[in-house]
Amino acid sequence: MCAIAGFFGEGLSPREANGLLKSMADTLAHRGPDAEGLFTGKGVGLAHRRLAIVGLSDGLQPMQSADGDLCLSYNGEIFNHLELRADLESRGHRFRTGSDTEVILHLYDEMGPDCVEMLNGDFAFALWDRRLRRLMLARDRMGVRPLYHTRHEGRFYFASEVKGLLEIQGIQAKLDPIALDQIFTFWAPLAPRTAFEGIKELPPAHIMLVEEGRVEVRPYWRLEFGLDAHTAPNGEDTEEIRALLSDATRIRLRADVEVGAYLSGGLDSALITTLATPLAPAGLRSFGIGFDEEEYDETPFQSIMASRLGIRHEHLVCGQDEIASAFADTIYHTEQPVLRTAPAPLHLLSRFARGKGIKAVLSGEGADEIFAGYDIFREARIRRFCARQPASRLRPHLFRRIYPYLTTLQKQTPDYLGAFFGVGADNPEDPLFSHRPRMRATSGAKLFFGEVLRERLKGYDAADEMASLLPSEFTRWHPLEQAQYLETRFLLPGYILSCQGDRVAMAHSIETRYPFLDYRLVEAAARLRPETKLRGLREKHVLREAARDLLPHEIANRSKQPYRAPESVVFSGEAGAHLRTLLSERSIGESGLFNPRATAKLLEKGQRSPLAGFRDNAAFVGILSTEIWHRHFTHKTMPTAAPLAV
3-class SS string, 419-449: HHCCCCCCCCCCCCHHHHHHHHHHHHHHHHE
How deeply is 232 buried, as exposed, middle or buried, from its count of CB atoms within 10 A (0-12, 13-18, 19+)? Answer: exposed
Cα gap 324→609, rounded to integer Å: 17
- Give kind and range of the element (H or E) at residue 120: none
Q: Can you tell me the distance from the alpha carbon of 52 to that of 123, in angstroms, rounded to the nearest whole number?
A: 15
Rounded Cα–Cα distance for residues 490 and 189 (Å): 8
Q: In whole angstroms, what is the distance from residue 309 CA to residue 273 CA?
A: 9
Looking from the CA of 91 toward its CB, the CA atoms found within 13 Å total: 10
C-alpha separations of 105 from 129, 132, 252, 560 in Å: 10, 15, 21, 43
| Phi then psi dihedrals of residue 148, to 5 deg | -120, 155
Q: Is 386 a catalytic residue?
A: no
Instruction: From residue 282, give the alpha-carbon distance in Å to each of 312, 335, 364, 509.
Output: 11, 37, 21, 22
Cβ–Cβ < 8 Å for 285, 311: yes
Compute the CA torsion angle 14, 15, 16, 20 (nearest 10 deg): 100
**For 252, left (φ over 0), alpha (ψ -120 to 50), or beta?**
alpha
Task: Taking the CA atoms of 387, 388, 390 and 396 in sequence, report the sign of the dihedral they define.
Answer: negative
- Active-site residue identified among 2, 71, 386, 499: 2
Q: Looking at the annotation, which residues are catalytic?
A: 2
